[in-house]
Amino acid sequence: MFAGSTGLGTKVSSTLQDFGDGSLNSSSRALDVAISGNGFFRVQDSSGSVYFSRNGQFTLDGATRNIVNMQGMQLTGYPVVGTPPVIQQGADP
């Protein structure tokens, strides 16, 4: 590269996806969660597009009361089928 010449820019030579566990850290936020092992969080943007993420930083959207990630995408999942079991308080395991 010489003074007065035009640069050729940069390019990406390769990319690498790493789905391994990161470090698990404590948080004071009630909706921060982590995945240990396989799995992804399923989130959906306002246009209905579905994405999968391992980032477990979530918050409550005050307007909709939905759990959303830091980009405002709603945490989604699959509907519960059946009647949930009743757990008695103070019962021995």
Domain limits for position 45: 25-79
Residue 92 belongs to some domain of the structure: no
Handedness of CA 67, 73, 74, 77 (dihedral sign): negative
Which pair of structure tokens corresponds to residue 72? 């405002």
Residue with the bigger pLDDT between 86 and 76: it is 76
SS3 labels along 20-52: CCCCCCCCCCCCCCCCCCCCCEEEECCCCCEEE
Residue 48 belongs to some domain of the structure: yes
Give the whole-angstrom CA distance, residue 42 versus residue 79. 13
Please give the single-letter amino acid code of residue 89: Q
pLDDT exceeds 80 at position 1:
no
* pLDDT score recorded for residue 63: 94
Residue 38 belongs to some domain of the structure: yes
State mean pLDDT over 19-31: 87
pLDDT tens for residues 31-67?
999 988 888 999 999 999 999 999 999 999 999 999 9
Number of independent structural domains in the chain? 1
Q: What is the pTM of this model?
A: 0.64
Give the whole-angstrom CA distance, residue 56 versus residue 61. 15
Residue 59 belongs to some domain of the structure: yes
